[in-house]
Structure 1
Amino acid sequence: MDIMLVSVSISFLLVLLGVSWLYWGLRERKISRRREKFFLENGGRLMLQKILSEHEGSIESARIFTDEELKKATDHYHESRILGRGGHGTVYRGILADNTVVAIKKAKILDRSQVEEFINELIILSQINHRNVVKLIGCCFETEVPLLVYEFVTNGTLSDHIHKCGHESTLSWRARLRIAGETAGALSYLHSDASAQILHRDIKSTNILLDENYTAKVADFGASRLVPLDGTQLTTLVQGTLGYLDPEYLRSSQLTEKSDVYSFGVVLAELLTGLRALSFERAENERNLSLYFASAIKGGRLFEIINPMVLNEGNPEEIMKVAMLANQCLTVKGEDRPTMKEVAMELEGLMRVMDRHPWLNRSSDLEEAEHFLGERSSKCDGILRSNASGNDDSIRNQVPFEIESGR
């Protein structure tokens, strides 16, 4: 009886093991087929062939990750690994098997255009090799929406550092000028020196990352465009962020390199003033920074809106040169704006002067600068109030929402 019971138990266990093995085998096969389906749907093989054939030997190839590798790297996309969330997805901090720390961009599951945006970013970044552009490490096509893996940039965004809430930014004037120069150099490279001209299309302070040495890294190329070699004008659905969006592009839908120049001009104005590009908490004539900045220059009130730290550390001539450069970038007509190469050269020249004459940065004209300084507001984005009347232009003449067309 005991022998029979043992035999039955063993037989039952063997059957159970067999069924379990069959179940897990079928499950793994189903998962594998699902991954293969996503890989093919997302254009994985075609994408790899395209990248390898076009760029073999010219740049380091992007690494292809498996879904399982990235799940392990992010502890199955645990909440504690989230670096940031956006309208289109989430960025996670990942640790690869070799202990390399990376940033993994995982999109929300929306529609086919989301996949196309990620593939577009992959194609763009696979053609870029510049110290001031965030480095693409690899990608994964085995998920419903492709995943992109980047170098991990440790010090947050430029926006984080110039719009710190509740206390003054510690980003020095010299650091601001250097970051501006590095960003301009990266954009100049994209426009003039990359294998094909690349228009970023969404330059803003949140898309400029800073590493542990406060070196600038331009990021987020999902909206970027390659310019046809024949120089054909790009007519696109308007895409960008309100406050940084080129008004000429907004009106005509004609995308040119001067659209990036305008957006960079807004970033320069942010660095100078400490104000956000757009804020409905400010007075009506101050809400749009580009209009407010241009109005202050025109009315001779520039130093009333300059950030106190910038006034403290820079000298008026230096500040005025950067302000006038920003103002040129913000010219309404694109043809009147400088090129990014010209902007980068101007900023590089200013940095060389600072290196040769460091004593100039302890401004002997500090009293003159302080004479222009208006009262500080207690508001978060460091608004400097003045009694002078502003430009009659208001934000009502702008589009009152973030442009998301085409995403």
Structure 2
Amino acid sequence: MGVDLESSSGGGGGGGNTTQRSGNCLVIGLALLFFVLGVWGLIKFIKKRRKIIRKRDFFKRNGGLLLKQQLSTEEGSNVETTSKIFSSKELEKATDNFNKNRVLGQGGQGTVYKGMLVDGRIVAVKRSKVLDEDKVEEFINEVRVLSQINHRNIVKLMGCCLETEVPILVYEHIPNGDLFKRLHNDSDDYTMTWEVRFGIAVEIAGALAYLHSAASTPVYHRDVKTTNILLDDKYRAKVSDFGTSRSISIDQTHLTTHVAGTFGYLDPEYFQTSQFTDKSDVYSFGIVLVELITGEKPYSVVRLDENRGLASHFNEAMKENRVLDIVDSRIKEDYLEVTIEEDEEEEMPMEMNIDDSWSIDMTAPASLFDSLPTLGVEPLVPQRTWS
């Protein structure tokens, strides 16, 4: 019986040890789990903290404090401003983390994405490639100036984000793409009639006149071209892409800068002197007009060497009195009808001469649009030539 008790006692002790070992393992396991979770949480917190600090640093470096102050000052004044400062989180959500399927277009300045804000508004989000740190103050000034621009033929700047390495701009979304693609579209369903083209020309002229003379601070666009003219759902023109634009003081007549712009639209005098004036924008506008009339691209290797630039090609046709030969065949009938009617009324026909630029300004009455009381320029005077 003693043996049985001893045996029974020994068996009970073994079971207790097993239970104790199991309990110890559970405690150790839970401790390890909490340790791992703690380390993971700490790492996550540190990363989040670093991200917040990085965003704050980018915001300061990109002039966010200055811009915020300027916008708040304008809110308390009579200056109307419609821009806001977006967070990077807002724009990531709007563009589905800058999904490549949302890309509307790409260029030298950066990539444009289609986005939708939380209030349902569709926007175009421009993510620039680079920004010279020395130009941050100028960039902020441009955002401030553009935030005050309110013209129906200029794409509205809705705001910007400064929490990223390179600032992001947010514009209203224009659904019909750019004028270049529409103008050079060979589709049978062709919408670019002479009436539409003429209306677009008038609207671009009005927008440039506003920038040069009516904006609170005069602005030189510096890259007027058909790819920077967007078309809304009713084919109204919207001047866009102010990535190279510069604001100037009222009494300033020119800017001396590194040459910026697009070959084929570039003012030759600006190219030679690096001095940009309002006439330089007007020269580029003239190339756009010729592009609208002829349907030809600003530069083509198909044309003869001396006439590969559209300005030279057009001037050659003017000298040889064969302008009608280079009018876009898709609008020639309507174009002829308009010019004949104007001739019968003893008014100036709708043609021009570009000896590489004109001595005009966008606010004077235009001979090209002299049937319209609100626009026009002085007679076109040849002034600039390539040497």
> Structure 2 length normalisation: TM-score?
0.83
**Matching of residue 70 in structure 1 with residue 130 in structure 2:** no
- In structure 1, how many angstroms separate the alpha carbons of the residues matched to 2:292 and 2:332? 12
- In structure 1, how many angstroms separate the alpha carbons of the residues matched to 2:174 and 2:234? 10
Q: Per-residue displacement from partner, 1:239-270 (whole Å, max 9, x unpaired)? A: 11111111122222222111111111100000
Q: Match for residue 22 of structure 1? A: 42
Structure 1 residues 129, 345: closer, same or farther in 2, change over 3 A? farther
**Matching of residue 271 in structure 1 with residue 263 in structure 2:** no
AA of the residue aligned to 1:27:
K
**Matching of residue 32 in structure 1 with residue 62 in structure 2:** no
Q: Match for residue 218 of structure 2? A: 197
Structure 2 residue runs of 5 or longer lacking an equivalent are 1-18, 343-347, 375-384
- In structure 1, how many angstroms separate the alpha carbons of the residues matched to 2:229 and 2:29? 65
The equivalences for 1:29-178 within 5 A come to 29-54=49-74, 56-109=77-130, 111-112=132-133, 118-119=139-140, 121-165=142-186, 169-178=190-199
Q: Which moved more, 1:162-171 or 1:218-227?
A: 162-171
The equivalences for 1:4-403 within 5 A come to 4-54=24-74, 56-109=77-130, 111-112=132-133, 118-119=139-140, 121-165=142-186, 169-318=190-339, 323-324=350-351, 326-327=352-353, 330-332=354-356, 334=358, 337-342=359-364, 347=369, 349=371
How many residues in Structure 1 have an aligned counterpart in Structure 2?
350
Structure 1 residues 140, 252: closer, same or farther in 2, change over 3 A? same
8 Å contact 1:286–1:292 — kept in the other structure?
A: yes
- Report the secondary structure of 1:315's partner residue: helix
Structure 1 residues 350, 308: closer, same or farther in 2, change over 3 A? farther
8 Å contact 1:138–1:148 — kept in the other structure?
A: yes
Deviation at 1:322, TM superposition (A): 6.7
- Report the secondary structure of 1:275's partner residue: coil
8 Å contact 1:162–1:169 — kept in the other structure?
A: no
AA of the residue aligned to 1:171:
M
- In structure 2, how many angstroms separate the alpha carbons of the residues matched to 1:132 and 1:227? 21
- Report the secondary structure of 1:185's partner residue: helix
Percent of aligned positions that are identical: 45
8 Å contact 1:181–1:348 — kept in the other structure?
A: no
AA of the residue aligned to 1:5:
C
Q: Which moved more, 1:131-140 or 1:239-248?
A: 239-248
AA of the residue aligned to 1:47:
L
- In structure 2, how many angstroms separate the alpha carbons of the residues matched to 1:216 and 1:15? 62
Structure 1 residues 115, 154: closer, same or farther in 2, change over 3 A? farther
Higher relative contact order (CA 8 A, sep 6+): 1
| Aligned residues: CA RMSD | 2.6
8 Å contact 2:161–2:167 — kept in the other structure?
A: yes
- In structure 1, how many angstroms separate the alpha carbons of the residues matched to 2:208 and 2:287? 14
Q: Match for residue 380 of structure 1? A: none
Deviation at 1:9, TM superposition (A): 3.1
Mark the structure with the bigger radius of gyration: 2
Deviation at 1:89, TM superposition (A): 1.1
Q: Per-residue displacement from partner, 1:317-350 (whole Å, max 9, x unpaired)? A: 53885743x42xx34465xx22212356853725
8 Å contact 1:163–1:169 — kept in the other structure?
A: no
Structure 1 residues 297, 168: closer, same or farther in 2, change over 3 A? farther
Deviation at 1:34, TM superposition (A): 0.5
Q: Which moved more, 1:73-82 or 1:143-152?
A: 73-82
Structure 1 residue runs of 5 or longer lacking an equivalent are 353-394, 399-407
Structure 1 residues 350, 57: closer, same or farther in 2, change over 3 A? closer
Q: Per-residue displacement from partner, 1:6-64 (whole Å, max 9, x unpaired)? A: 33333333222222221111111000000111111111111222344357442234111
